[in-house]
Chain A
């Protein structure tokens, strides 16, 4: 008998979820830490000794201090604004069912894929000189930066919070209501605390995303506003001051780690509850105020996300004051017979191929990472969680130029000779998508009650079976959100800074940049046209991913 117990103990010692941690670990080790350490070593140890002259440049210059300070406060404010916009919308989307809900959710997610230069064009079409947004004219770079950040990140907040909120159990709230609590009381004392993990997860994601904001700041901010990320690009790509660029990258990485560490320690005791079926929670609007609330949210999302998108589509359809398909037709002509001409279907095909592959890589590594973190949470010491969780977030805030340079100098020998490989593209995309996946599913996966898995394990279910019948169904909703993030990030990623591109495999953002690279009215129109195509392609991708879940959710 004794022997048997030790046997079981031994067998459970290497838990499959612990092994799952190896997947993200290897992934990050090969494609993130190895290239980064390569470039850091090269920058700091020139001629065999450490050279710290760059420290002067950082701390002696008020400009650098200003940049670091600006990076922090703009990220904080952007996150707060996004949260304020997203929370009411998430409430409505997670509590009420209404006709246009699906399409509203879809439209809200499209901005995320648009390249910064196109977003700038969209905002300008709305608020520029002849902007058609009720004559409102906005030109202050700061206002534009915040608008663009909210425009971009709104869907992250919305998706994560809605996904979590709609799986919150209604019974506790109802009980509180019965006991005489006012709606405000219920919200403040029950809903909000329960919702905290999702709000924090989404906020931290948006914060880090804005913290390392690059394109938006570079284009809309003008030269007076610069983030650390922009400064790294400037130092590395133009001044070739690698030590300073690496040092700034380290500051960025170090800060992200510290922030995530505080965050994970803060949320160690995650809320636990029994997830409920979605349908039980959703209700139809009955009262007038409910209907007005829904209408308000719809109008808000339309104004925030759809109007700028429409402005872009209009630009692609209007030629010399008349509606015309001339720009779309021109996409199919190679006027200058260039070998870099990108046939639209080619670009769509490769965009889909890369996005699909990046999605699979990011979701698999992300799910493994989340399972591993939960395993650390529950089976071993919490301290490991506060170590691994921040590590998994690092790729999000790492400068693309630094990583790209690192790849050039490290991944140059077989078996990892990937410098010009086609595989580097989805891998680089997945690297950025991976933290999103982890953040999106971790709240859901953590909230799965431990006794559920323990019970099934006691009844003889193998860990794989537990994953398939308990974990996977319960996190499916968040998994869809995660997949959508990974997919959109890949679709919108310009990323030439990370890899050395072979022009044979163009994506849609690369086509947009190609058109905007040269003067001429046709080029601009075609850039707008292909941006419109990018939006449609994204929408199709979303519908496919969403339906993939729906078809299989009967067994819930």
Chain B
């Protein structure tokens, strides 16, 4: 009796599974049996997003399907792409940032191609002269602060990195661990750019003396410790310059003023640039090139801000209202050479870890 029941349940589950997988297979077969509908696969990180409208536009324009593979966070996704370079999982990789740029280029797994819209991209963003990886979006990592907290406590918010080590900012800041978090690493690089390779540790030790809190990831810092977003008690957090725009966009009552402010001037914001490129070994090179054109086209670029809360690389792409009002682009971001970042990253992180933890 019991065995029968057990078997029935197993059968039911297996049947439902097969029904499900058949669906999958049918889709696959449909793709295979109709060669006029090819598909292009984009491998990317977990934070990638795109709107339905843009995807259907792509599919209508090129008579091709867009398949997206998410492969973990930015570092993990890139490493998976590097590991599979002899037998790539996708045609295009989207989302190598400038801190990983030289590792990605060193793996020699991208095909050089200059998309048709590349001229509309700011030359400052173009870091690979051979165009194996082209810039697609960028965002500034900087200090965010809780406007209300500073008002309530009759204090002035910080204006630059140096402010954080002043006594009046004691115990107010939460930052992320550069070893486990990408905004954390960007912030470390901002301090290195500002205080130099000799001076940055000194700055961090003063920060530590000023009771800075360090968390492992952005989620824990923002959702766990930041006064504007959680029950935490730190009114200053390391986040993105576009975070206030997201705060406004994702609020039910449609706030007119962002609850948070950003510190971007005086070289205190580090620019993270994301790149995309065609993976070597892609069997659909022509279509992949068209897709790269599409990624830099106005349609795709104008979709980026509200999907991923970063800025489009194409200068001609219009920004949405909420970005114009609440997100800021700094004129003088902190900049470091990608090659220098790649060669020194491990050393800096190790030094930082040993001195700070």
Contact = CB atoms under 8 A, between A and B. Distances in A.
Interface of A: 42, 63, 117, 120-121, 124-125, 128-131, 218-219, 221-224, 230, 233-234, 236-241, 319, 326, 330, 335-340, 353, 356-357, 360, 401, 404-405, 408-409, 412-413, 419-420, 422-423, 468, 472-473, 476, 496-497, 500-503, 513, 516-524, 548, 551-553, 555
Listed residue (A125, A233, A356, A520) with the most chain B CB atoms within 10 angstroms of its CB: A520
Contact of B215 (A121, A222, A357, A519): A222
A137 to B, nearest CB: 11
Given A222-B215, A497-B72, A130 B51 contact: no
Contacts of B353: 63, 223
Given A223-B353, A236-B76, A240-B82, 15 more contacts: A219-B215, A222-B220, A223-B180, A224-B357, A240-B75, A240-B103, A337-B52, A338-B51, A340-B49, A340-B50, A353-B20, A360-B13, A497-B72, A520-B246, A522-B252
Contacts of B43: 500
Contacts of B84: 408-409, 412, 419
A516 B219 contact: yes
B216 A521 contact: no
Contact of A520 (B24, B217, B247): B247
B50 to A, nearest CB: 6
A336 B49 contact: yes
B17 A519 contact: no
B79 to A, nearest CB: 5
A228 to B, nearest CB: 15
B83 A521 contact: no
A337 B55 CA distance: 11
A548 B216 contact: no
A234 B79 contact: no
Interface residues of B, number: 76
A500 B3 CA distance: 37
A236 B283 CA distance: 29
Given A222-B214, A222-B216, A237 B76 contact: yes
What are the 4 A-B residue pairs with the smallest beta carbon separation, nearest first?
A520-B250, A552-B2, A223-B177, A237-B76
Contacts of A237: 72-73, 75-76, 79
Contacts of A234: 179-180
B115 interface: no
Contact of A223 (B67, B179, B250): B179
A497 B76 contact: yes
Nearest to A357: B17
B53 interface: yes
B251 to A, nearest CB: 6
Contacts of B69: 420, 500-502
20 contacts: A222-B214, A224-B214, A224-B357, A230-B180, A237-B73, A237-B75, A237-B76, A336-B51, A337-B52, A353-B16, A357-B17, A360-B13, A420-B89, A423-B21, A472-B3, A500-B69, A519-B222, A524-B223, A548-B9, A553-B2
Interface in B136-176: none
Nearest to A233: B180
A237 B75 CA distance: 5
B245 to A, nearest CB: 9
Contacts of A356: 13, 16-17
B357 A552 contact: no
Interface string B6-34: 00011001101100110010000000000
A522 B250 contact: yes
Contact of A218 (B53, B180, B251, B356): B180
Nearest to A223: B177
Nearest to B70: A501
B46 interface: yes
Contacts of A517: 46-47, 219
A169 to B, nearest CB: 23
A117 B219 contact: yes
A500 B80 contact: yes
Listed residue (A131, A524, A553) with the most chain B CB atoms within 10 angstroms of its CB: A524
A319 to B, nearest CB: 7
B215 A223 contact: yes
B113 interface: no
B354 interface: yes
A100 B88 CA distance: 55
B39 to A, nearest CB: 12
A551 B76 CA distance: 47
Contact of A124 (B2, B50, B68, B231): B231
A346 to B, nearest CB: 13
A427 to B, nearest CB: 12
A63 B356 CA distance: 12
Interface string B78-96: 0110111001010000000
Contacts of A335: 249-250
B307 interface: yes
B187 to A, nearest CB: 13
